[in-house]
Chains A and B, each alone.
Chain A
Amino acid sequence: STMVHYKLYYFPSRSVAEPVRQMFAYAGIEYEDVRITKEEWLAEWKNKMTFDQVPVLEVDGKQIPQSLAIGRFVAKQYGFYGKTPFEAAWIDAIADQFKDYWVALAPWFYVHMGYAEGDVEAAKAKCAGPARDMLFPHLQKLLKENKSGFLIGDQVSWIDFMIQEHVTVLEEEFPGYLKDYPELFVHAAKIRALPAIKAWIEKRPVSRG
């Protein structure tokens, strides 16, 4: 059988594309890691991408938009989606909760990273606590209850990569934000130490977030 040809299109950063890159790394799957700069995006790429957005995963020339849809598709293909339908549903629920948290955090995050204009202290006062409360108490509870050290079930899944990537960014950009959630740092270190992930981290292009 012929191998599937994958192209992953995103900006030159980790962010919402990184869980997909990590799943490919862990499963040993070849893919084209296409990184589009902001100038290239506006000049030539935006209208080539379905929904005028990235990330896009191209599978033998056909496009899937939306990072969570891409993540779920790849997770299913390569065994990062739990062992039962109920585990898969819980993985989905965490991915969706992460997205809701992200929408709440974004006003502060974007200003801090310089992606948007604004008063970073005002944004922090408004967003930081409520956003954190939406997600991290629940993840902490899951990690405390699951002996495997993974978020769901007894093997690494899509949302382990997703959460680890984001916690890593929080460690780098907002030290102290998760001081009441040490379990998240233990989890992130565990995922980063998986041999295939460690190797990927060492060779991947460096970016801030």
Chain B
Amino acid sequence: FRACSMSRVFFYFFEILKYILPETMPSYKLTYFDTQGFAEVSRQLFALSDTPFEDNRLPREEWPEYQKCTPFGKMPVLEVDGQKLPQSFAIARFLARKFGFAGKTEWEQAWVDALGDQFKDYLNAFLPFFRVAFGTATGDLEAMKKSDGEPIRDNFFGILEKQAKDNGSTGFLVGSSLTWIDLIVADHMGVVEYHLPHFLDGFPEVQRVRRNVIETPKIKEWLEKRPERPY
């Protein structure tokens, strides 16, 4: 059973329920390409909270038309009772707050946010090398690994390693329970290791966070049933 078929069943069930009982939960529709990418963290937040959502995976050829009705010309887009919200981290933070995965205090939330921003900065720097690694750009992989991949990795994962350790080696980056930054880091590590095995072996605390995420029952269940894509 494909995940988006199941969620479509749930979607229509809850649409009918909403019609009968006006005070039920909002309807959620998340639209993105058929990849993990920047939508995966939000899909995992729905899974963690047992919240039904329409996992709308847009075929590439439908993108130019769909783009015209996106708020900022990009995906993912979340619709909450039909109201649109763009930007993957704004979506993730909105859902994380609602479902309790944003950080338990304002201080923790600020730190989850800061690590999220640092991840984006890292990804912007890392992507030119990474695209060569997963084959969507050409270049000298070994040379770029030494000049870009490794130093950029070491800078960011060094920060995460320290953060995880300072946080008590609990398997969470911030606080004492799962937050959306744990999900983002774990997902990214999976994508990196798929294309560059052992590239992240040198970060045992962060590996502990990743294991913690993928062994969380509801995430484990989601990972088993989701469509598997290279990134």
Partner-B contacts on A (CB < 8 A): 51, 59, 62, 64-70, 72-73, 76-77, 85-86, 88-90, 92-93, 95-97, 99, 103, 134, 138
Contacts and interface: CB of A to CB of B under 8 A. Distances in A.
A62 to B, nearest CB: 8
Contact of B94 (A65, A70, A89, A138): A89
| Chain A to chain B: the 3 pairs with minimum beta-carbon distance, closest first | A92-B90, A69-B114, A69-B113
Given A85-B94, A86-B94, A89-B93, A69 B72 contact: no
Interface in B98-137: 98, 106-107, 109-111, 113-114, 116-118, 120, 124
Contact of A97 (B80, B86, B91, B109): B86
Interface of B is mostly: helix
A76 B106 contact: yes
B151 to A, nearest CB: 14
A8 to B, nearest CB: 14
Given A65-B118, A134-B73, A97 B94 contact: no
B114 A64 contact: yes
A93 B78 CA distance: 11
User: Which interface residue of A51, A62, A70, A86 has the most chain B CB atoms within 10 A?
Assistant: A51
Interface of B: 71-73, 80, 83, 85-91, 93-94, 97-98, 106-107, 109-111, 113-114, 116-118, 120, 124, 159
Nearest to B98: A85
A93 B83 contact: no
B97 A93 contact: no
Contacts of B120: 99
A89 B114 contact: no
26 contacts: A51-B159, A64-B114, A65-B118, A69-B110, A69-B113, A69-B116, A72-B113, A73-B106, A73-B113, A85-B97, A85-B98, A86-B83, A89-B85, A89-B91, A89-B93, A89-B94, A92-B94, A93-B71, A93-B85, A95-B90, A96-B88, A97-B86, A99-B117, A134-B73, A138-B71, A138-B72
